Chain A
Amino acid sequence: MTVLLALAIGVLYAAGTYLLLRRSAVRVVFGLALLGHAANLLVFTAGRLVREGPPIVPPGALAPPTPSADPLPQALVLTAIVIGFGVQAFALVLLRRACQEAGTDDVDAMREERP
Chain B
Amino acid sequence: MIAAVLSGFAVALLAPALAKRLGRGAGAVLALYPAALFFRFLSRVPAVVAGETPSASLPFVPELGISLSFRLDGLALLMALLVTGIGAIVLVYAGTYLEGHPRRGPLLGLLVAFLSAMAGLVLCDDLLALFAFWEATSILSYFLIGFEREEAEARAAALQALLVTGGGGLALLAGFVLLGQAGGTLEVSALAANAEALKAHPLYLPALLLVLAGAFTKSAQVPFHFWLPGAMAAPTPVSAYLHSATMVKAGVFLLARLHPALGGTREWVWVVTSVGAATMLTGALLSVGQRDLKRLLAFSTVSALGSLTMLVGVGTPAALGAAMVFLLAHALYKAALFLVAGILDHEAGTRDATRLGGLLPLLPATGVAAMAAAFSMAGLPPLLGFVSKELLYDAALRASPLPFVLVPVAVGSNMLLVAVALTVGFGPFTGPRGATSKLPHEAPVAMWAGPALLGFGSLAAGVFSGALSPFLSAAASSALGHPYGVRLELWHGFSLVLLKSLVTLVVGVALYRGRHRLRAFAERFAPLGALGPARLWRAGLAGLVSVAKGTAAFLSSGSLRQDVRVVVVAAVALLGPLLLSRGTFGAADALPSVRPIEAVLALLVVAGAVGAVVAGSRLSAVVGLGVTGYGIALLFLVFGAPDLSMTQFAVETLSVLLFVAVLRRLPRLRSRSAPRSRAVDAALAAAVGALMAGLVLAVHAGPLRSRLSGFFAESSLPLAKGRNVVNVILVDFRGLDTLGEITVLAVAALGVLSLVRLRLAAKGTAGAKEGGR
Is B61 an interface residue when CB atoms closer than 8 A count as contact?
no
Pair A1/B594 contact, Cβ less than 8 Å: yes
Q: Mark B62-103, 1 if CB is under 8 A from A, else 0.
A: 000000000000000000000000000000000000000000
Residue from B589, B692, B760, B766 within 8 A of A42 (CB atoms):
B692
Q: Are A93 and B662 in contact (CB under 8 A)?
A: yes
Are A26 and B591 in touch, CB under 8 angstroms?
A: no
How far, in angstroms, from A10 to B610 measured CA to CA in the complex? Answer: 12
1/0 per residue, CB under 8 A from B, across A74-103: the answer is 110111011111111110111111011111
Chain A residues in 8 Å Cβ range of B233: none
Partner of A26, one of B635, B651, B669, B685: B669
Closest chain A CB from B127 CB (angstroms): 47
B655 interface hit (Cβ, 8 Å): yes
Across the interface, do B738 and A48 meet the contact criterion of CB distance under 8 Å? no
What's the nearest-Cβ distance from chain B to residue A81, in Å?
5
B644 touches A78 (CB 8 A): yes
Q: Mark A46-64, 1 if CB is under 8 A from B, else 0.
A: 1111111111111101111
User: Per-residue 0/1 for B627-645: is the Cβ within 8 Å of any A Cβ (1 yes, 0 no)?
Assistant: 0110010011011111110
B610 near A108 with CB under 8 A, answer no
* Contacts of B712-754 to chain A: CB distance below 8 A: 712-714, 716-718, 723-726, 729-730, 734, 737-738, 741, 744-745, 748-749, 751-752
Given A51-B640, A54-B640, A96-B771, A34 contacting B625 (CB threshold 8 A): yes
Of the candidates B590, B593, B672, B699, the one whose C-beta lies within 8 Å of that of A23 is B672
Judge whether A21 and B738 touch: CB under 8 Å: no
* Interface positions of B from 640 to 689, Cβ below 8 Å from A: 640-644, 647-648, 651, 654-655, 658-659, 662, 665-667, 669-673, 681-682, 684-686, 688-689
Q: Which of B687-703 contact A (CB under 8 A)?
A: 688-697, 699-700
B765 to chain A, nearest CB (A): 10
A93 pairs with B689, CB closer than 8 A: no
Looking at the assembled complex, report how far the CB atom of A52 sits from the nearest CB atom of chain B, in whole angstroms: 6
Please determine whether B662 and A96 come into contact, CB atoms closer than 8 angstroms: yes
Q: List residues of chain A with CB within 8 A of the CB of B734.
A: 75
With both beta carbons as reference points, the residue of chain B lying nearest to A115 in the complex is identified as B763
Find B737's partner among A18, A63, A79 (CB 8 Å cutoff). Answer: A79
Query: Which chain A residues lie closer than 8 Å to B684 at the CB level?
Result: 17-18, 21
Is the beta-carbon distance between A4 and B748 smaller than 8 angstroms? Answer: no
Given contacts A82-B741, A90-B748, A93-B752, contact A10 B714 (CB under 8 A): no
Q: A2-B700, A34-B625 are in contact. Are A12 and B609 (CB under 8 A)?
A: yes
Q: How many residues of B contact A (CB 8 A)?
A: 109
A51 vs B658: C-alpha distance when bound (angstroms): 33
Contact A51–B639 (Cβ < 8 Å): yes
Contact B723 A86 (CB under 8 A): no
Which B-chain residue is minimally distant from A97 (CB atoms)? B755
Q: Which of B136-144, B298-306, B560-568 contacts A (4 or more CB under 8 A)?
A: B560-568
In the bound complex, what is the Cα–Cα distance between A64 and B560 (angstroms)?
47
Knowing A18-B682, A63-B717, A71-B729, say if A45 contacts B696 (CB, 8 Å): yes
Known: A3-B697, A34-B609. A18 touches B591 (CB 8 A): no
**Number of A-B residue pairs with CB-CB distance less than 8 Å in the complex they form:** 316
The complex places the Cα of A54 from the Cα of B728 at a distance, in Å, of: 13
Tell me which residues from 592 to 612 in chain B have a Cβ below 8 Å from any Cβ of chain A. 592-595, 598-599, 602, 605-606, 609-610, 612
CA distance A2 to B595 in the complex (A): 12
Residue of A nearest to B697 (CB): A6
Residues of B contacting A23 with CB < 8 Å?
561, 672-673
Query: Chain B contacts of A61 at CB under 8 A?
Result: 717
Determine if B767 and A93 form an interchain contact, defined as CB atoms under 8 angstroms apart: no
The distance from the CB of B188 to the nearest CB of chain A, in whole angstroms, is: 53
Say yes or no for B527: interface residue by CB 8 A criterion. no
Residue pair A21, B696 in contact (C-beta under 8 Å): no
**CA–CA, A21 to B748, complex, Å?**
24
Quick one: given A75-B726, A107-B560, are A11 and B689 in contact (CB under 8 Å)? yes
Select which of A27, A34, A84 is within 8 A of B628 by beta carbon: A34
> Contacts of A68 on B, CB cut-off 8 Å?
640, 713
Q: Which of the listed residues B635, B688, B706 has the most CB atoms from chain A within 10 Å of its own CB?
A: B688
Candidates B564, B593, B751; contact of A21 at CB < 8 Å: B564
CB contacts (< 8 Å) of B689 on chain A: these are: 10-15, 17
- What residues on A are CB-neighbors of B767 within 8 Å? 99-103
Report yes or no: B685 in contact with A21, Cβ–Cβ below 8 A: yes
Q: Give every chain B residue within 8 A of A14 (Cβ-Cβ).
A: 685-686, 688-690
B708 on the A face (CB < 8 A): yes
Q: A5 to B696, Cβ gap below 8 A?
A: yes
Please give 16 more A-B residue pairs, beta carbons under 8 A apart, in addition to A15-B613, A96-B771: A1-B602, A2-B700, A3-B590, A13-B691, A14-B688, A15-B685, A23-B561, A42-B692, A51-B640, A54-B640, A54-B642, A64-B713, A69-B641, A72-B706, A88-B658, A100-B768
Show 25 residue pairs from A and B whose CB-CB distance is below 8 angstroms, ordered by the A residue.
Answer: A4-B599, A9-B693, A10-B692, A10-B694, A18-B682, A19-B613, A23-B561, A24-B671, A34-B625, A37-B609, A44-B644, A46-B699, A46-B700, A48-B589, A52-B640, A55-B713, A58-B723, A62-B717, A89-B752, A100-B768, A102-B767, A105-B666, A106-B672, A107-B561, A108-B559
A interface residues, Cβ below 8 angstroms from B: 1-28, 30, 33-34, 37-38, 40-42, 44-59, 61-64, 68-72, 74-75, 77-79, 81-90, 92-97, 99-108, 111, 114-115
Closest 6 CB pairs of A and B: A14-B689, A10-B693, A69-B640, A2-B590, A100-B771, A103-B767
